[in-house]
């Protein structure tokens, strides 16, 4: 079986495809065609979010593929996310996404970040205080939001619920209070930010990990890192293929973002990395973290506060 078709079983019993098409920061007017192209090329996992502001295009791309007979709805694993201004109105957030997507249900609904923002603030998605700082409702607990998400499951409008951007601290807060264990934790994850402690903890608790930003940053140092280039040469593939395949070797699904048809197709070509390949990348990770005084994160919360969500701004 090609690795593109590989699937991982979630704690719900459902299967999530190893490779997904990411749609964050995809340019308006290009997302619809990208989704249809990806489905035509064999992708079966499409990842979106309300705050990406392109769910309507994602839904249109899915409908186009269904109309063309490429797929049926049940063939596709669709993920979307509850945005921070909807933490106090979770059902409304889901309904907004379903309306945008034009779907009756999503396969996975994630809490995008474990921090609530003011639903009645200066902007529907990114409210700010007059001083420019993000308008966060620090008194609202992410656990309360999770409890509201659990109530969505009987509706059939979500097949599974999960979390995104959860640190170990927040996982340890949530799990003792959760009736439903999250199916997925979606994280920024790459060799410069392996987050091994969180990955191992999630595995222990039966929470699947999905990696976003698997290349670090576009044109960033990961693509030219000597060990990554050497592993690519050894296997006769590109560094991008190595970095995407690193995740499936770790048991994680991975999101590859592109609207370019040639790149969408190239990103499909996952390979099986051997122990020597993985050891070389692991050594690079450790050396890079040591040289830089810590891991390198490229995606920070849109809150104007450090990652880790302190109790007070």
* Concatenated DSSP letters of 124-152: SSS-B-TTS-B-B-TTS-HHHHHHHHHTT
Catalytic center residues: 52
Q: Judging by beta carbons within 10 Å of its beta carbon (0-12, 13-18, 19+), is residue 225 exposed, middle or buried?
A: buried
Rounded Cα gap, residues 1 and 4, in angstroms? 8
Please report the pLDDT score of residue 3 as a whole number: 67
Please report the pLDDT score of residue 312 as a whole number: 40
Whether the Cβ atoms of residue 4 and residue 42 lie closer than 8 Å to each other: yes
Rounded Cα gap, residues 206 and 12, in angstroms? 10
Rounded Cα gap, residues 107 and 154, in angstroms? 13
User: Interhelix angle for 90-101 vs 55-67, to 10°?
Assistant: 50
Please report the pLDDT score of residue 311 as a whole number: 43
User: Interhelix angle for 239-249 vs 275-292, to 10°?
Assistant: 100
Whether residue 190 is annotated as binding a ligand: the answer is no
Q: Judging by beta carbons within 10 Å of its beta carbon (0-12, 13-18, 19+), is residue 156 exposed, middle or buried?
A: exposed
Sign, CA torsion 55/206/39/260: positive
Q: Judging by beta carbons within 10 Å of its beta carbon (0-12, 13-18, 19+), is residue 228 exposed, middle or buried?
A: buried
Whether the Cβ atoms of residue 86 and residue 129 lie closer than 8 Å to each other: no
Provide the residue-wise pLDDT of the chain in tens; the chain has 313 residues: 566 689 999 999 999 999 999 999 898 899 999 999 999 999 999 999 999 999 999 999 999 999 999 999 999 999 999 999 999 999 999 999 999 999 999 999 999 999 999 999 999 999 999 998 889 998 999 999 999 999 999 999 999 999 999 999 999 999 999 999 999 999 999 999 999 999 999 999 999 999 999 999 776 799 999 999 999 999 999 999 999 999 999 999 999 999 999 999 999 999 999 999 999 999 999 999 999 999 999 887 655 544 444 444 3
Supply angle C-alpha 124, 126, 132, rounded to 5: 125
Q: What is the DSSP letter of 157?
A: S
Greatest CA separation found in the chain?
A: 55
Please name every residue paired with 8 in a beta bridge, in sequence order, or none if there are none.
16
Q: Token pair for residue 51?
A: 């705050």
Distance of CA 222 to the CA centre of its chain: 19
Question: Which superfamily does CATH assign the domain made up of 3-220+252-268 to?
Answer: NADP-dependent oxidoreductase domain (3.20.20.100)
Rounded Cα gap, residues 257 and 214, in angstroms? 9
Rounded Cα gap, residues 125 and 235, in angstroms? 44
Distance of CA 83 to the CA centre of its chain: 13
């Amino acid at each position: 079986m090609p690795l593109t078709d590989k699937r991982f079983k979630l704690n719900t019993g459902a299967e999530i495809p190893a490779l997904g098409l990411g749609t964050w920061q995809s340019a308006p007017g290009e997302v619809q065609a990208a989704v249809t192209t990806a489905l035509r090329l064999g992708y079966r996992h499409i990842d979106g979010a309300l705050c990406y502001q392109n769910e309507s295009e994602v839904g249109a791309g899915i409908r186009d593929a269904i109309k063309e007979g490429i797929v049926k709805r049940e063939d596709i694993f669709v993920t979307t996310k509850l945005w921070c201004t909807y933490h106090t109105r979770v059902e409304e957030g889901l309904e907004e996404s379903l309306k945008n997507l034009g779907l009756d249900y999503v396969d996975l609904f994630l809490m995008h970040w474990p921090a609530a923002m003011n639903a009645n603030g200066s902007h529907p998605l990114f409210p700010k205080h007059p001083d420019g700082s993000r308008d966060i409702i620090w008194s609202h607990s992410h656990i309360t939001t999770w409890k509201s998400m659990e109530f969505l499951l009987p509706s059939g409008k979500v097949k599974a619920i999960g979390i995104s951007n959860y640190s170990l601290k927040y996982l340890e807060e949530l799990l003792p209070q959760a009736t439903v264990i999250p199916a997925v934790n979606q994280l920024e994850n790459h060799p410069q930010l392996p987050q091994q402690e969180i990955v191992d903890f999630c595995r222990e608790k039966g929470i699947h990990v999905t990696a976003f930003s698997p290349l670090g940053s576009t044109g960033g140092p990961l693509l030219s890192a000597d060990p990554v280039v050497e592993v690519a040469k050894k296997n006769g593939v590109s560094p991008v293929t190595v970095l995407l395949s690193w995740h499936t070797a770790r048991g994680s699904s991975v999101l590859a973002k592109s609207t370019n048809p040639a790149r969408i197709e190239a990103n499909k070509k996952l390979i099986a990395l051997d122990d020597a390949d993985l050891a070389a990348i692991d050594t690079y990770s450790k050396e890079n973290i040591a040289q830089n005084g810590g891991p390198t994160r490229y995606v920070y919360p849109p809150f104007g506060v450090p990652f880790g969500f302190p109790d007070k701004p």
